[in-house]
Amino acid sequence: MSGTARRITAHQANHLPYPGFFAKMHTVDQFVILDDVQFVKGEYHNRNRVRLKADAHWLTVPVIHSGRQGQCIADVEIDNRRDWRGTHLRTLQQNYSGAPHFAAYFPPFAELYAQPWERLIDFNLALIRGLAAALEISTPCCLSSGLQISGTVTDRLIDICAATGATEFVHGKHARDYVDFDKMSAAGIANTTQSYTAAEYPQTGPGFVANLAVIDVVLNCGPEARDVVLAGNTLQGA
The pLDDT value given to residue 4:
54
Residue 59 phi, psi dihedral angles, 5° rounding: -105, 120
Provide the pLDDT for residue 44.
Answer: 97
Cα–Cα dist 59/87, whole Å: 9
Contact 154, 183 (CB under 8 A): yes
Domain residue spans in the chain? Answer: 7-237
CA distance 171 to 135: 22
What does the pLDDT read at residue 5? Answer: 56
User: What confidence score (pLDDT) does residue 87 get?
Assistant: 96
The pLDDT value recorded for residue 1 is 37
- Cα separation, 190 vs 188, in Å, equals 7
10-residue averages of pLDDT along the chain (238 residues): 72 97 98 96 96 92 88 96 96 96 98 96 98 98 93 94 96 94 97 97 94 98 98 90
**Which of helix, strand or coil describes residue 23?**
helix
